[in-house]
Amino acid sequence: MSTDRLFRVVADGPLAPVITETLADLVEWLPWEVAINGIATMDGPIDGVYTYGHPHLDGAMLDRLPGVKVISNYGVGVDHINVSDAIARGIPVGNTPGILNGATADMAFTLLMAGARRLMEGDRYARSPEFTVYDPGYMLGREVHGATLGIIGMGRIGEQIARRASGFDMTVLYHNRNRNESAEQTLGVRYSNRDDLLRQSDFVVLSVPLTAETEGMIGSEEFALMKSTATLINVARGSVIQTQALTAALQQKTIYAAALDVTDPEPLPRDHPLLALDNLTIAPHLGSATEQTRQRMAEISIENLRLGLLGEPLQHVVSA
Ligand code: NAP
pLDDT tens string 133-179: 999 999 999 999 999 999 999 999 999 999 999 999 999 999 999 99
Q: Report pLDDT digits (tens) over 224-273.
A: 999 999 999 999 999 999 999 999 999 999 999 999 999 999 999 999 99
More confident residue, 41 or 267: 267
Q: 234 pairs with which residues across the strands?
A: 206, 260
Quick one: CA dihedral 132, 137, 142, 143, positive or negative?
Answer: positive
Q: Which residues have CB under 6 Å of ligand 1?
A: 76-77, 97, 100, 104, 152-158, 175-178, 207-211, 213-214, 235-237, 261-262, 285, 287-288
- CA angle in degrees (0–180, nearest 5) for 275-280-286: 85
Minimum mean pLDDT among 41-45, 136-140, 165-169, 303-307: which range? 41-45
Could you tell me which CATH class the domain 7-99+292-309 is placed in? Answer: alpha beta
- Which whole number is the average pLDDT over 73-98? 97
Q: Looking at 266, 272, 296, 303, which residue is catalytic?
A: 266
Q: Where along the chain do its domains lie?
A: 7-99+292-309, 101-282
Q: Looking at 54, 118, 163, 237, which residue is catalytic?
A: 237
Nearest to 155 by CA among 82, 227, 91, 235: 235
> For domain 101-282, is the CATH number 3.20.20.300?
no
Q: 109: CA distance to ligand 1 center in Å?
A: 16
Nearest to 308 by CA among 5, 6, 7: 7
Of ligand 1's atoms, which has the minimum distance to the CA of residue 287? 40
CA-nearest residue, atom 4 of ligand 1: 155
- Which whole number is the average pLDDT over 291-301? 98
The residue ranges of DSSP E strands in 96-177, in sequence order, are 148-152, 171-175
Q: Residues 149, 205: contact at Cβ < 8 Å?
A: yes
Q: Residues 96, 75: contact at Cβ < 8 Å?
A: yes
Of ligand 1's atoms, which has the minimum distance to the CA of residue 79? 34
The whole-number pLDDT of residue 40 equals 61
Q: Residues 293, 99: contact at Cβ < 8 Å?
A: yes
Q: Residues 243, 269: contact at Cβ < 8 Å?
A: no
CA-nearest residue, atom 14 of ligand 1: 208
CA distances (Å), 248 to each of 115, 223, 255, 256, 277, in order? 18, 10, 10, 12, 11
pLDDT band at 41 (very low <50, low <70, confident <90, very high): low
- CA angle in degrees (0–180, nearest 5) for 5-317-262: 105
Active site (annotated) includes residue 266: yes
